[in-house]
């Protein structure tokens, strides 16, 4: 029976092909050899008796011919096993442990199963053992590890003793089968074929084949089934089913199912491995090639490592300022450089760290520009760039003087406020030039994101520092002049309040440790000079305004505009248009008309536009004249050249003839060559003279008051003074607007009269404040009329209509009260106010005159309207005294505290001398 496979050559060849080549072709016994000594082993087994020590197996059953290590924790069981080896009976029964009732074996870990085995003793352990097991030889004992080798099947019949568990067993034999049965042969061949496919993929399984043949002998049908089931990855219950099956054919069928399933698992494993390999092979190959390329370049000295080069670049950039750099910043830079070396170049964190180091090392830590504290030099530069603005220039010179005495300058926050076009931004640029500081400007008009000022957090994608850090990087010094433009137009959006974020930046006490969110290290901005610009100071939040020193720029009067237009605007415009001074003449009358009728605003931006408009038209006119002149010159030059060439030709002929008669041919050649250059030179000089004459012939362009409209169109503004002498019920007031100051008339007339019909109608697009002022004026006027003329019942019986002309222009403000009262009283008294009188001021119900704003603008408007007498509130005397003398020239100004004084000035017979 044991030599069954030897008689079947085909089966022998198939099984023999499973073994490794070294085993099949070696000098030792063939892979499928028959061990004749197996009969002696069976004889020894029969001498053991029917009692064996029961060893529980937690994970898989032990098949005949296979090794299995188990761990024995019970000292009594270990002692019994060692004693069995000493008595030359090194055998025990290995039985698979049943699962605990109510548990899923697939979810129980190996450590838990082992723990459960150690807790089982005696009867409890006996009940948990499968009946069919394997007779196992104890090969070796090392510590608590016992190595078992399976030999044959056993069945438990009864328990003999509990500690250690000893049982009676019966040896099981396979059921008889027909070795020549074609079905059994076919099944076994399919098992062998499948096993061979599986063995190709695993070297471990090939080792199993070698070990099995060494210990159990040749393969036959039963052993083939055991081998296939043992090396498969089936669960323990399926393996136990194969172990318990004594019918050889059924056992082969069960094994075939297991190995078929194994081959399917192997195919799935290969497909998964192939898919993953294809996915990563491209990137891995590219990465390996790049690393090899870097290594090759590094060995050849062609290129250093990226990270090393970056670190070297950052250290080199930091080196000039290392001594001046604050210690806490140096510590952060060193930490980030160390971190950069540990990161992979392909990681996102690497790019974040690199950008962070780029900003940190690019800032001018402690690098200050040398300031110029020469007051005379600064005065010269400021006068070169700007006319007037005495108070602004004085403040800048004070700042320079303090810096010179201290030896160092301290950053300040200056706010220049005024209407558009008065030169606020250009003043900041001039201050930077006077101080020899770097200049940086950024506008915060409409800014709604706090991150523009404080920077983004580094965790955000595309994070950047704020504008202040960008400024320091751009200018390269730590003490620039920073112009923050349009600070009164800050926005406020969902990303925070920028006005509040500017509090730290513009606070002299806090900006020495300004913290940008991106850099996250304190930056010293105390040496930075901040200059802010605003049109309306009231629009700046109070906490922010409190940190600034406000310098107001009211605007320019006509005389100042004349100087600016003549000395600055006209000169720069002429140069930008490429026109020479001798080609154009703009008269004083033309400039005055341009300022009065086209550019009445406080600034000079519109004036510059109009001057540019004039010079563009002049340039076109000159070019047209020049083109026609060039054509004439070209025709003239062509005729003269023809005549000159003819003259030269005649001269040559005469010389040639005389030369032939008196001298030889060489002399003739010398004479001819000497004459030609002189003749050409004369022709060129003639051309140059003609061109100059043509240019001189171009008519000089004269811009005068009469032809001004040809260049800039019809006048925009007309005379504000409508009346030479204001009629009854009309009074001239003074108002402040965004364009500067202006005069406006307040008119009052009666609608109807009758007993008890006293009322007031208001028109002229008046705001709420002016409507209230009109109601107050009506009440005060009735009181004054009652006091002056007790019998006059005009207000009680007359319906009045008060109107402020230019009804399409909204008007509001607390400065028209006294003008309205005077207008109503003029109508009630039927008496006009004095000639050339204008007034401004708000009145209370008791007749007190309250102060107003915009004194300079209103004074300028009065001068423009040819007003001789102005009435101001007494509280505004200080503002008027601070005005320049040329603004106050020719004006008779009265300062009043109560309306009774205005009544005397407007309607009195003798003009008051108080000024």
The end-to-end CA distance of the chain, in Å, is 147
Tokens of 384: 């070169």
- CA gap 440, 429 in Å, rounded: 9
- CA gap 894, 884 in Å, rounded: 17
Residue 425, annotated as binding a ligand: yes
The answer to whether 148 and 70 are in contact (CB under 8 A) is yes
Eight-class DSSP state of 521:
S
Distance from the Cα of residue 73 to its chain's centroid: 67
Partnered with residue 68 across adjacent β-strands are: 148
* DSSP output for 179-212: TT-HHHHHHHHHHHHHHHHHHTT-HHHHHHHHHH
Residue 840: φ, ψ to 5°: -155, 150
* DSSP output for 306-321: HHHHHHHHHHHHHGGG
The answer to whether 403 and 409 are in contact (CB under 8 A) is yes
Question: Which residues participate in catalysis according to the annotation?
Answer: 815, 858
The answer to whether 793 and 753 are in contact (CB under 8 A) is no
Distance from the Cα of residue 905 to its chain's centroid: 65
The answer to whether 894 and 871 are in contact (CB under 8 A) is yes
Q: What is the length of the chain?
A: 915
Residue 541, annotated as binding a ligand: no
- Residue 769: in which H helix or E strand, if any? helix 768-788
The answer to whether 436 and 368 are in contact (CB under 8 A) is no
- CA gap 121, 833 in Å, rounded: 128
Residue 424, annotated as binding a ligand: yes
- CA gap 733, 718 in Å, rounded: 17
Q: How far is CA 61 from CA 51, 81, 195, 247, 612, in A?
A: 20, 19, 20, 18, 105
The CA angle 555-557-559, to the nearest 5 degrees, is 140
The answer to whether 584 and 701 are in contact (CB under 8 A) is yes
Residue 420, annotated as binding a ligand: yes
- CA gap 199, 228 in Å, rounded: 11
The count of other CB atoms within 10 Å of the CB of residue 447 is 23
Partnered with residue 802 across adjacent β-strands are: 748, 762
Distant-in-sequence, close-in-space partners of 582: CB < 8 Å, separation ≥ 6: 700
The answer to whether 732 and 837 are in contact (CB under 8 A) is yes
Nearest to 511 by CA among 499, 498, 521, 524: 524
The count of other CB atoms within 10 Å of the CB of residue 410 is 12
- Residue 414: in which H helix or E strand, if any? strand 413-417
Partnered with residue 92 across adjacent β-strands are: 136
Residue 465: HSE in the Cβ half-sphere, 13 Å Cα cutoff: 24
Distant-in-sequence, close-in-space partners of 88: CB < 8 Å, separation ≥ 6: none
The answer to whether 80 and 164 are in contact (CB under 8 A) is yes
Residue 421, annotated as binding a ligand: yes
The answer to whether 868 and 892 are in contact (CB under 8 A) is yes
Burial (0-12, 13-18, 19+ Cβ within 10 Å), 791: exposed
The residue assigned the tokens 């001798």 is: 582
- CA gap 637, 686 in Å, rounded: 8
Eight-class DSSP state of 737:
E
Residues making up the annotated binding site for ATP are 418-425
Residues making up the annotated binding site are 418-425
């Amino acid at each position: 029976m044991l030599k069954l496979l030897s008689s079947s050559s085909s089966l022998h060849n198939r099984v023999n092909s499973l073994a490794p080549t070294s085993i099949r072709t070696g000098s030792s016994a063939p892979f499928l050899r028959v061990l004749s000594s197996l009969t002696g082993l069976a004889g020894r087994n029969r001498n053991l008796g029917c009692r064996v020590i029961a060893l529980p197996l937690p994970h898989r059953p032990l098949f005949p011919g296979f090794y299995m290590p188990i761990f024995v924790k019970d000292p009594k069981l270990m002692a019994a096993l060692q004693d069995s080896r000493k008595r030359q009976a090194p055998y025990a029964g290995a039985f698979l442990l049943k699962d605990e009732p109510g548990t899923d074996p697939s979810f129980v870990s190996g450590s838990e199963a082992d723990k459960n085995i150690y807790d089982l003793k005696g009867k409890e352990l006996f009940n948990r053992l499968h009946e069919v097991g394997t007779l196992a030889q104890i090969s070796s004992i090392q510590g608590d590890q016992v190595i078992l080798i399976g030999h044959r099947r056993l069945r438990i019949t009864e328990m003999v003793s509990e500690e250690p568990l000893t049982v009676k067993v019966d040896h099981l034999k396979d059921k008889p089968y027909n070795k020549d049965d074609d079905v059994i042969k076919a099944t076994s061949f399919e098992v062998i074929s499948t096993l061979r496919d599986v063995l190709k993929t695993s070297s471990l399984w090939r080792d199993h084949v070698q070990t099995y043949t060494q210990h159990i002998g040749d393969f036959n049908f039963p052993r083939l089934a055991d081998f296939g089931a043992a090396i498969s990855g089936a669960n323990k219950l399926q393996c136990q089913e194969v172990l318990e099956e004594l019918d050889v054919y059924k056992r082969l069928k069960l094994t075939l199912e297991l190995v078929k399933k194994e081959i399917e698992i192997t195919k799935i494993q290969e497909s998964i491995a192939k898919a993953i390999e294809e996915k990563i092979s491209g990137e891995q190959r590219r990465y390996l090639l790049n690393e090899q390329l870097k290594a090759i370049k590094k060995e050849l000295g062609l290129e250093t490592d990226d990270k090393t080069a970056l670190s070297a670049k950052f250290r080199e950039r930091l080196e000039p300022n290392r001594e001046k750099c604050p210690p806490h910043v140096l510590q952060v830079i060193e930490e980030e450089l160390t971190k950069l070396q540990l990161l992979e170049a392909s990681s996102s964190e690497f790019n974040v760290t690199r950008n962070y180091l780029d900003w940190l090392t690019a800032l001018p830590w402690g690098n200050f520009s040398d300031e110029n504290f020469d007051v005379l030099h600064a005065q010269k530069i400021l006068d070169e760039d700007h006319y007037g603005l005495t108070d602004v220039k004085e403040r800048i010179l004070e700042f320079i003087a303090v810096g010179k005495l201290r030896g160092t300058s301290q950053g300040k926050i200056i706010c220049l406020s005024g209407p558009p076009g008065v030169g606020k931004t250009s003043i900041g640029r001039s201050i930077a030039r006077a101080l020899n500081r770097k200049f940086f400007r950024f506008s915060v008009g409409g800014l709604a994101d706090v991150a523009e000022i404080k920077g983004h957090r580094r965790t955000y994608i595309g994070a950047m520092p704020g504008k202040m850090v960008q400024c320091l990087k751009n200018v390269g010094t730590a003490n620039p002049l920073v112009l923050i433009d349009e600070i009164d137009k800050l926005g406020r959006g969902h990303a925070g309040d920028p006005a509040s974020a500017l509090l730290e930046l513009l606070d002299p006490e806090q900006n020495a440790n300004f913290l940008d969110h991106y850099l996250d290290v304190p930056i010293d901005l105390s040496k930075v000079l901040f200059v802010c610009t605003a049109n309306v100071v009231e629009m700046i939040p109070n906490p922010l305004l409190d940190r600034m020193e406000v310098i107001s720029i009211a605007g320019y009067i006509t005389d100042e505009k004349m100087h600016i237009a003549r000395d600055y605007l006209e000169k720069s415009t002429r140069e930008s248009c490429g026109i020479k001074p001798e080609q154009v003449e703009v008269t004083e009358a033309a400039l005055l008309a341009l300022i009065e009728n086209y550019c009445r605003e406080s600034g000079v931006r519109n004036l510059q536009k109009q001057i540019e408009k004039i010079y563009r038209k002049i340039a076109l006119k000159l070019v047209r004249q020049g083109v026609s002149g060039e054509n004439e010159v070209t025709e003239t030059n062509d005729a003269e050249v023809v005549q000159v060439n003819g003259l030269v030709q005649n001269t040559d002929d005469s010389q040639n003839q005389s030369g032939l008669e008196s001298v030889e041919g060489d002399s003739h050649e010398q004479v001819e060559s000497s004459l030609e250059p002189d003749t050409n030179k004369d022709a060129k000089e003639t051309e140059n003279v003609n061109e100059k004459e043509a240019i001189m012939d171009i008519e000089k362009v004269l811009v005068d008051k009469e032809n001004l409209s040809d260049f800039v169109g019809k006048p925009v503004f007309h005379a504000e003074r409508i009346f030479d002498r204001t009629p009854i019920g009309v009074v001239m007031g003074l108002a402040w607007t965004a364009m500067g100051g202006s005069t406006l008339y307040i008119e009052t007339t009666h609608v109807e009269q009758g007993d008890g019909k006293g009322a007031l109608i208001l028109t002229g697009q008046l705001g709420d404040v002016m409507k209230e002022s009109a109601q107050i004026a009506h009440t005060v006027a009735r009181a004054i009329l009652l006091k002056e003329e007790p019998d006059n019942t005009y207000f009680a019986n007359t319906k009045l209509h008060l109107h402020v002309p230019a009804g399409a222009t909204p008007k509001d403000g607390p400065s028209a009260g006294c003008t309205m009262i005077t207008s109503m009283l003029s109508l009630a008294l039927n008496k006009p106010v004095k000639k050339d009188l204008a007034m401004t001021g708000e009145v209370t119900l008791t007749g007190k005159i309250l102060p107003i704003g915009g004194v300079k603008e209103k004074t300028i408007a009065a001068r423009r309207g040819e007003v001789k007498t102005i009435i101001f509130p007494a509280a505004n005397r200080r503002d008027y005294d601070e005005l320049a003398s040329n603004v106050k020239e020719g004006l008779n100004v009265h300062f009043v505290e109560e309306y009774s004084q205005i009544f005397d000035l407007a309607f009195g017979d003798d003009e008051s001398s108080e000024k």
